[in-house]
Structure 1
Amino acid sequence: MPELTLSDTSTWLPLDGLAPGFDANKAPTVGDLHDRSYELTCADGTTFGASFTGTRIEWRYHGSGTDRCETFLVDDELYYVQFHPRAHQEEAFTLLLDLRQGRALLVLSRIGDTSPRVTQTFLPATIAGLEARGEPLAPSTSLVGRRVLWVYSTAHAYEHVYLSPHWYTWQCLAGPEKGLADTDENSVYELRPGIYVFTWREKVIPCASVTVADHRDARNLRSHGVLFGLDSTGKTPTHFTFGAHGRLLSTTVHPETFDPAR
């Protein structure tokens, strides 16, 4: 691997080079969904079916399959499920299930010949058999103006600056990417007050991420997420989950006339 040169993006660390140790702060998985099944009706009229057995999910959405999944408890009756279909290696699925509110969010990440290379589709949904409470899940501007420190392990730390509904800036403060920074596309959905789905799509490294982040305690933030993209060869999909602890560093409040969230 070439020596890291900050301004030469050809020397930047590939996605698979980041993986060792990056998942040190990942939360333990849970088996709460074992023997449960859910049918989702998405906002675009499609349906997604999920049946859980142990650490596996039997899914139905424009095809079907049975694959290994990881399930994390985000909050009371709020679950984050991540899986990478063996038969569709160019895709990864993120499922957020809010069993208290009767709502869900399906995020489909897909590797393609696009710019950025990994794109994401967001499908808010309702859960059959549960009363859908509150407003439908929708994009949020609530993170705009915040600067947050995220610590993924004793060796990996990054800060995020949420610039606008479309852009955020990241900077590596510790780890093999120390000194690197860039501004990439992002999308944000609010699941519950103070709990957000934050996703990004990188333009230099062919990868994207989906995270679910709890911002309710500014001094004790918590996130769970996945990185998905191509390895150093540019051909083989790489998919791994992680977690982070964080804290709010500052908040920028723009004058109303120049507010990027408007």
Structure 2
Amino acid sequence: MTSTDIQDYIPEDQWPPVSAMLDGFGDQTLPASPALAGTTLSIPTQGGTAVEHVFTDPATVAWDGGSAAYKAIEARPDIFIIDFVRGEGVDGENVTIIWDRNTGAVTTGISRFVTVDGRIRSTTDFTAAHERSSGLVGKRIFYRYSDLESYEHIYLNPGTFTWNCVRGGEAGLADTDRCMMWDVAEDLYIFFWTEKVMTVEAVLLIDLREQRSIGRMFGWDDPAGEPVILPFNSRLSVLNTTEYPQDTHKH
């Protein structure tokens, strides 16, 4: 039995906290790559300048004034998704970098918290070298994040998608939220979404060829008053692709 069999609409005031996903998603199972150790990458800041980031070893990235533990996953040959968190608590930021060393293109998403009307919300600033895409539009994709967690996405247009938790901690929850997508390689996309109910920012790679997604969610747990950092990977299946009728006749 899944939520589609047993549950109906769930009002927002009955939604669980963001941390409800933590146990079901488990740990990111794809291995970290040591390939970036000894390399340097210049990452733009919100002010428009760039900061040199040195991957000093397979697990540590350093910059002028700080360092952090990072994980780099080689999604395809010489295409990496890199994640690290800098700062703590409400000042924490989750940095995700997609670096295609075949082309030199680097897209960076930095998720952070902001206060809106006295409530902690989140936002993500992008510096994108990849081109915006519509390649996922019309697709309905089923994602298996673990044996416990399954979701589906329906991509409505380049900036809007619908998600539905089929099984897991958010079973029965569904919403339509803002998103963005970029082309990286054939059948490989950067995908971002932000949620209007929960304080969640997600940045990931969707790989239709390898039938998987790799990424993270960065959110705020209201009851606990702390960030929720959720790296994940999934197995995916394209359920169908919608093609609209090409009506050319006049009514």
Shift of 1:89: 3.4
Structure 1 counterpart of 2:135 = 142
Distance 1:106 1:84 in 2: 13
Shift of 1:110: 1.6
Candidates 109, 112, 125, aligned match of 2:111 = 109
Q: How many residue pairs align between the two structures?
A: 238
Structure 1 counterpart of 2:3 = none
Shift of 1:122: 1.4
Candidates 126, 147, 163, aligned match of 1:122 = 126
Preserved contact between residue 148 and residue 160 of structure 1 (Cα < 8 Å): yes
Shift of 1:25: 5.9
Q: Which runs of 5+ in 1 are unaligned?
A: 126-136
Preserved contact between residue 78 and residue 102 of structure 2 (Cα < 8 Å): yes
Candidates 188, 204, 209, aligned match of 1:195 = 188
Q: CA RMSD in A?
A: 2.6
Structure 2 counterpart of 1:80 = 81
* Secondary structure, counterpart of 2:19 in structure 1: helix
Shift of 1:99: 0.7
Structure 1 counterpart of 2:41 = 38
Residues 12-40 of structure 1: per-residue CA shift (max 9 Å, x gap): 12112211130356312121111221235
Distance 1:39 1:228 in 2: 23
Check if 1:230 corresponds to 2:220: yes
Residues 38-78 of structure 1: per-residue CA shift (max 9 Å, x gap): 23568x95324221123111135xxx420111111110001
- Listed as ranges, the matches of 1:203-242 within 5 Å are 203-216=196-209, 221-233=211-223, 235-242=225-232
Q: Which amino acid aligns with 2:227?
A: P
Preserved contact between residue 16 and residue 232 of structure 1 (Cα < 8 Å): no
Structure 2 counterpart of 1:54 = 58
Distance 1:83 1:105 in 2: 14
Shift of 1:90: 3.3
Check if 1:20 corresponds to 2:28: no
Distance 2:48 2:235 in 1: 36
* Secondary structure, counterpart of 1:10 in structure 2: helix
Residues 207-255 of structure 1: per-residue CA shift (max 9 Å, x gap): 1111111112xxx511111110101326311112011000100001124
Distance 1:41 1:57 in 2: 15
Structure 2 counterpart of 1:132 = none
Structure 1 counterpart of 2:71 = 70
- Listed as ranges, the matches of 1:163-202 within 5 Å are 163-202=156-195
Distance 2:137 2:38 in 1: 39
% identical aligned pairs:
28
TM-score normalised over the length of structure 2: 0.86
